[in-house]
Chains A and B, each alone.
Chain A
Amino acid sequence: SPKNPEQKIIKRVIALEGDIIRTMGHKNRYVKVPRGHIWVEGDHHGHSFDSNSFGPVSLGLLHAHATHILWPPERWQKLESVLPPERILVKSEEE
């Protein structure tokens, strides 16, 4: 976590470097993600401590990619890499 180096947080990647994103609760309405950074958000927007609070995250802080939930067994699933429909980008770098 950029605010607490002892803590690891798990969020979804919403935007990569160069993308312009419309933020939810950040001090600037639109943010362009700088080079070498990513924008992360929790799926539960109202109660998430994510880039809307601490801004874009440097790629060097990335620890791992969460692929599956293993425990508890009734929540055993593969985590899909899907962007929530309401979080489409204003402008993507690839365009």
Chain B
Amino acid sequence: MLRGVLGKTFRLVGYTIQYGCIAHCAFEYVGGVVMCSGPSMEPTIQNSDIVFAENVSRHFYGIQRGDIVIAKSPSDPKSNICKRVIGLEGDKILTTSPSDFFKSHIYVPTGHVWLEGDNLQNSTDSRYYGPIPYGLIRGRIFFKIWPLSDFGFLRDSPNGHRFSDN
């Protein structure tokens, strides 16, 4: 009787460990569902939207300009940020507004990317903390699940002029 219960418990623990390992590998190497909060990516992603992220591109270094990525925050490793990639290493980024007379540029250093939110007025991004190392990128968002009225692949950046010359 006791051996039956013990056997069942061990089997349950075994299944839980297997499930945990597979889930961890899936989230780490394949992708997962993410809920985004904050106004910095409006109108592309609103507060409390649920999106689908894939973690395959970053392992093969397939992240491109214009992709929306999830990255670890450079100042707080426990929290994630969700921004669009504006520049890759070697790109020249315009840091002043295009209407200013004296323009200033910055070059993205090797191994780093420049991120900006779509809602430029209300986004702390690379304009505030500088380019972030590529190794902080966790995954790429490519599909929105919720709200259903906005279901589908994500739109291109509304700030098309931000992709400056290389």
Contact = CB atoms under 8 A, between A and B. Distances in A.
A4 interface: yes
A62 B111 contact: no
Nearest to B129: A34
Nearest to B132: A58
B146 to A, nearest CB: 27
B88 to A, nearest CB: 12
B142 interface: no
Interface residues of B, number: 17
Contacts of A35: 75-76
- For chain A, which range describes its interface: under 10, 10 to 19, 20 to 34, or 35 or more residues? 10 to 19
B136 interface: yes
A2 B136 CA distance: 9
B66 interface: no
Contacts of B9: none
A29 to B, nearest CB: 21
Contacts of A2: 111-112, 133, 135
Interface of B: 61, 71-77, 109-112, 132-136
